[in-house]
Chains A and B, each alone.
Chain A
Amino acid sequence: MTRDLDTTRAASPGATAATIGATNTGSGAATEPTAATPAAGPALARRRGLRRLSAVAMVAGPGLVAANAGNDAAGIATYAGAGSQFTYGTLFFMVLVTIALVMVQEMAVRLGAHTGKGLGALIREQFSLRLTALAVFCLLLANTGLVVSEFAGIGAAFELLGVPKWAVIPPAAILLWSLVLFGSYRWAERIFLVMSLAFFAYPLAMILGHPHWGQVGRHLVVPHFEPSKDFVLLAVALIGTTVSPYMQFYAAAGVVDRGAKPEDYKLIRADAVLGAVFACVISLTIIIATAAAIGGSGPLQSAAQAAEALKPVAGQGAELLFAFGLIGASALAGAVVPLSASYAVGEAAGVERSVSRSFRDAPLFLGLFTAQIALGALVALTPVDVIQLLIGTQVLQGLISPIVLVYLLVLTNRRSVLGAAANGPRYRIAVTTVVVGVAAMSTILLVQTILGWIGLG
């Protein structure tokens, strides 16, 4: 028996408010006559449970959800790594990534709003089967990487609390899997969400940590690039954790799901843009807070070191607070990420996709979901350094991201898909620049890595 779960949209790096706006009861959406949202109030209480008012929006507003976005394990590790290794050096790059994220998310929700189809379905209908298979493969690869990072995050958090990861990860995987399939995820989700609020200590920590505001300001506007391999690696990881492939699928699916029509597009776009900006602002505070606390101490060593950034807020309890947030955020994403990938693949393949079907009825969907969780938990158990693993998964995302972006770009350029809402010439140039930029970073990294292998690095 499953009931409907309304899962937070907070559970992923760079999640946007695009999938959130409708749950919002105070964004002004409710007052717009054409808004895709019912008026708040009693109309929201439905006979079959609160459908729109997700757990998240009940706890707080959509802004919070978006802020939670950058807070999954891999995101925190990557941002903290950026802060500890390059102090404020990556800030300008993050500003660029923010612009990229805004554009990419806007394209995803535009496709969703105007076609009423998910990205998986659109890719299958618009590209050849081989290209569809490539996209599906990339998405699964990137998402499995993400799932690995979520479980690694859970493991790291428990290690902070003194529990070895091999004792935690398998039960956590089984628990998440059964929660989703047997349908009490909705309640668990609220608990995870409240736990992940711990990361809201970061903005506070940034202010209390007395960063060099002058330097921060300069680094935000002055371009800074180091041709070193470490910097490129981290830059790709930053791209991967922010503009992760799965986010585009997720944002589009959310819009389709709300039944938003082209008329609602303005509102949806505002949501997407605000959400993306907000998420990136939070990411920036994590970098700055970490830089102020442990900046310049070389690459991030451990989760305990990352937790130090929270010392100004929590003092001795910093590690506890950090672990707490990490468990919540990782568990949130650990369910949504594999589900959304399975959903997109099921959509592209045209098979049953629903959690309440038996394995016989929906083998592909449930099989993919199970496989991702199993594989994610297994890889997370390998005795690799956790931080390396976390950043590594984000590098993988960053490498795959440009491939998925090309699909998105081609789809939004096609008049046969979007009609008048297709990219105009100027926008096309801008977005192409973004995609080329992201692809260039990935290529540089690949070339450097290969050169390193053959001893020229």
Chain B
Amino acid sequence: MSTTARLRDRKAGAERRVSATRTVRTSLVSLAGLVGGPVGNQAGQEVGRVVDVVARLYGPDHYPPVTGLIIRIGRRRAFLPADHIESLHAGRVRLRTARLDLRDFTRRPGEVLLARDVMDHQLVDVDGIQVTRAADLYLAPLADRTVLVGVDVSLPTLLRRLGPRRWQVRPTPERVLDWQAVAPFGEQATHGPAEVRLRASRSALHRLRPADLADILEDLGRTERQQLLGWLEPEHAADALEEMEPGELENLLREAPPEHAARLVDEMEPDEAAEALRDLTAGERERLLQGMPSAEAAELRSLLAHREGTAGGAMTTLPLTARPEQTVAQVRAELAAQAEHRGDIPAVAVLDGEGRLLGDIALFDLAVAEDTALVADLSEWLAQFGPPVTVHPEIRLAEAADHLVAARATSLLVVDDTGRPLGRILADDILDALLPERGRLHFRRLLK
């Protein structure tokens, strides 16, 4: 391929891009440019100015439809339903009728004022996994209605909005997020009917990894944060909370409605939950514990009795134990019923009738054992490889880590003086204790 041909190709490509951009630009209407723009009647006379655009944010539609405009006529503000609009263009609105049927605006369920509640406010960019602010919103006029299609989050757009009016009306779609990929917060909006609450972006929220979600929660303001938590399934939210910075988590639990906070703590792994509760004041802790089912609360109370930094303070409860007379199949069936504890059962402890520890059967051994084998035989056979690794609850966590490393095991059992197991320390908690802080550093930390 000769140089000239390549140059020609490149030029053609550039032209294509420019024309594509132009097409997109002409088909989008910038909300920032629309606000303050003239509203004209059929004859083209100006009857008022646009104050805000009303859209149904929480509804069944994929893209929120514009349901009307708030316009200023003289000194009065009035609501203009969307079916009166003939066309929406960059910075101009034309009406269908000469007669205006004006009402005062009242919010209907799921509606928000785009300029006041969404533009310049925080939203979650689900694809880019970050919290950002909407610099501009883009509307697309379709045949029968106008819908909100995207959010602009680029800095140049902010500069455009600072400029003269001529710039403001021109869309600059450099970094536009598809409306499907953001989770907006309409602070003032009432939610639509319950069955349509789960918009695409919210289900997208559930695809985020807990650690990413934790970052997002840390970045959001107080009300937004609580709103987001309300959208998430409690188990999913709890996973994210486990990943949060202790300080941020403490703030979050403190500002959440107590019953919701109790629900979230209940869903967390017991060891993480205990740690979160330790950071709260006694009164706050009690309030949350009382909001929980009594069995879980009792479990957490027993964990809270141990000091932080000790083996007891880092352990999680044993959701499942086995008895020697059970068969392997029975234990496996019980395991199957404990799906929500997937993350914290690396092995099953075997207890005698007195509750004393006989052995610890790793999941691998359970998986490969015969269905009909007895737990007693299995743990006896395993005993030849050495006794289960156990520590006392009072020893320091660093020391427990040494035991774990020496034993090359994946978890440790914490036992009291009589040999009864109290809980288990998982490898991830040991890692947390061993590794230096590696979170994202927010400037917020600087204020502490």
Contact = CB atoms under 8 A, between A and B. Distances in A.
A27 interface: no
B308 interface: yes
B281 A354 contact: no
Listed from nearest, the 10 A-B pairs whose CB atoms lie closest are A350-B133, A259-B251, A116-B222, A4-B445, A343-B443, A356-B441, A7-B446, A2-B441, A6-B448, A257-B444
B442 to A, nearest CB: 5
24 contacts: A1-B438, A6-B448, A33-B282, A33-B283, A45-B308, A46-B308, A47-B246, A47-B275, A47-B433, A51-B445, A116-B255, A117-B222, A124-B120, A129-B32, A129-B162, A256-B444, A257-B447, A258-B251, A350-B122, A350-B131, A354-B440, A354-B441, A354-B443, A355-B441
Interface stretch (A36-44, A167-175, A282-290, A422-430): A36-44
A159 interface: no
Interface stretch (B78-86, B153-161, B321-329, B353-361): B153-161
Interface of B: 32, 120-122, 130-135, 153, 155, 158, 161-162, 221-223, 245-248, 250-252, 254-255, 275, 278-283, 307-309, 314, 432-433, 436-448
Given A42-B308, A45-B308, A350-B133, A4 B439 contact: yes
A219 interface: no
Interface of A: 1-7, 9, 19, 23, 33-35, 37-39, 42-43, 45-49, 51-52, 54, 115-117, 121, 124-125, 129-130, 132-133, 183, 250, 253-254, 256-259, 261, 336, 339-340, 342-343, 349-357, 364
A35 B281 contact: yes
Contact of A48 (B122, B246, B252, B278): B246
Contacts of A250: 447
A356 B245 CA distance: 15
A261 B255 contact: yes
A130 B441 contact: no
Contacts of A38: 279-281
A253 B131 CA distance: 18
Given A5-B446, A7-B446, 15 more contacts: A1-B436, A3-B436, A6-B445, A6-B448, A7-B447, A39-B282, A48-B439, A49-B437, A51-B246, A115-B221, A116-B221, A129-B161, A253-B447, A258-B448, A350-B153
A364 B155 contact: yes
Contacts of B283: 33-34
> At the interface, is chain A mostly helix, strand, loop or mixed?
loop
B246 A46 contact: yes
B69 to A, nearest CB: 19
B437 A3 contact: yes
Nearest to A116: B222
Contact of A133 (B162, B254, B279): B162
Contacts of A35: 281
Nearest to A336: B446
Nearest to A7: B446
B281 A183 contact: no
Nearest to B253: A259
A83 B278 CA distance: 51
Nearest to A263: B254
Contacts of B308: 42-43, 45-47
B155 A351 contact: yes
A228 B89 CA distance: 59
Interface centre among B158, B278, B445, B447 (most CB of A within 10 A): B447
B162 A354 contact: no
Contacts of A125: 120-121
B303 to A, nearest CB: 14
Nearest to A253: B447
Contact of B281 (A39, A121, A253): A39
Nearest to A340: B443
Nearest to B136: A129
Given A253-B444, A259-B252, A351-B132, A4 B437 contact: yes
Contacts of B252: 259
A349 B440 contact: no
Contacts of A52: 247, 448
A349 B448 contact: no
A47 B448 CA distance: 16
A378 to B, nearest CB: 24
A46 B439 CA distance: 15
Given A48-B246, A125-B121, A349-B133, A3 B155 contact: no
Nearest to B160: A129
B443 A355 contact: yes
A51 B307 CA distance: 17
A33 B286 CA distance: 12
Interface centre among A38, A259, A352 (most CB of B within 10 A): A259
A183 B132 contact: no
Contacts of B275: 47
A46 B245 CA distance: 11
B441 A54 contact: no
Contacts of B245: 48
Contacts of B135: 350
A356 B440 contact: yes
B281 A259 contact: no
Contacts of A129: 32, 120, 158, 161-162
B123 to A, nearest CB: 9
A115 B121 CA distance: 14
B439 A349 contact: no
Nearest to A51: B247
B400 to A, nearest CB: 13
A38 B132 CA distance: 32
B77 to A, nearest CB: 16
Nearest to A34: B283
Contact of A47 (B281, B432, B442, B443): B432
Contacts of B161: 129
B278 A43 contact: yes
A339 B278 CA distance: 31
B158 A6 contact: no
Interface centre among B158, B161, B432, B448 (most CB of A within 10 A): B448
Contacts of A49: 437
A130 B447 contact: no
B281 A33 contact: yes
Contacts of B280: 38
A43 B15 CA distance: 64
Given A117-B221, A129-B162, A349-B158, A4 B448 contact: yes
Contacts of A39: 281-282
A188 to B, nearest CB: 13
A9 B278 contact: no
A317 to B, nearest CB: 33
Nearest to B226: A116
A49 B448 CA distance: 12
B31 to A, nearest CB: 12
Contact of B221 (A6, A51, A121, A351): A121
B344 to A, nearest CB: 18
Interface centre among A6, A7, A52, A354 (most CB of B within 10 A): A354
A51 B446 CA distance: 10
Contacts of A356: 439-441
